[in-house]
Structures are given as structure tokens and as C-alpha cells.
Structure 1
Amino acid sequence: MIGEFDLQGIFVPALLAWAALALLANALARRLLQRFGLYRLIWHRPLFDLALLVILLGAIAALANRILA
């Protein structure tokens, strides 16, 4: 896996890039859950949102590792 990205001389950790993608995916998933009313089934919404972010980050990092390695 790539340790960092070089953006015109600035080294950005790969995990930071994956976290940014996970935040975008998390925002989209939260909007969809809200729109379809699925949050009414969730007991603790902030905890669920955090768990969703961690799951998405792990999935994106694993996918990137498979593609880039």
C-alpha cells in the first residue's frame, strides 16, 4: 500500500485521503438513511454514525490496498 501521496511537494498520508473519501460516503449514506426514514430504527444515532464511518473507512482502505498493491 502507498504510504503517502505527493501533491506538488506536499506529502499527504494515504489514510487522510481515505478518511476524506469515507467522510463523503458517510455524508451520502446519512442523507439516504434520513430520507428513507431508517434512522427511526436506530437506537443511538451518533454511535451508529461513528460505526458507519469506521466501516466505510475500513472498506475504502481495503479496496485501495487491493487496487494499488
Structure 2
Amino acid sequence: MPVEIAIFGALVPTLLPILALSVVLYLLLDKWSSRWNLDRWVWHPALFRLSLFVIIFTALALGVYG
């Protein structure tokens, strides 16, 4: 189970790069969903965006720790 990663000599928790990757993937998916106007099919757009980020982050974290 990976606990720390050395980045430029500094030890950072494994979840920090996963968080950064999640933010990038979230921004790409959010841009794509805005382009296709998927917000009109969602009951609560802010809650949808938050859950999308949580799903991405959890999937990547489970890929590493699962």
C-alpha cells in the first residue's frame, strides 16, 4: 500500500497527486458537460458537479488503494 511519494525530494501523501489529477479530470468533464448542455437534465447542477468530483476522486483513490 503506497503511503508517500517523493516529488522533487519532498515526501507528499499519495492522495495529493490523486487530488490534482481529479481536479484536472473534473474540469475537463465539466467543460464537456457544459458544451453539451447537460445541466438541463440535472435537478440540482451544483450537487451534480460536487458528486461528479467525488466519484472521480474516489475511483482514482480506489484504483491506488483498492
Residue pairs, 1:30-69, within 5 angstroms:
30-65=30-65
TM-score, structure 1 normalization: 0.84
Unaligned runs of 5+ in 1: none
User: Could you tell me the TM-score, scaled by structure 2's length?
Assistant: 0.87
The percent identity for this pair of structures is: 35
What is the Cα deviation at residue 64 of structure 1? 2.4
Q: Give the secondary structure class of the aligned counterpart of 1:43.
A: coil
Q: CA RMSD in A?
A: 1.3
- Supply the distance in 2 between the matched residues of 1:4 and 1:43 (Cα, whole angstroms): 39
Match in the other structure for 1:17? 17
> How many residues are matched?
66
Task: State the distance in 2 between where 1:20 and 1:45 align.
Answer: 22
Give structure 1 regions of 4+ aligned residues with deviation exceeding 6 angstroms. none
Segments of 5+ residues of structure 2 without an aligned counterpart are: none
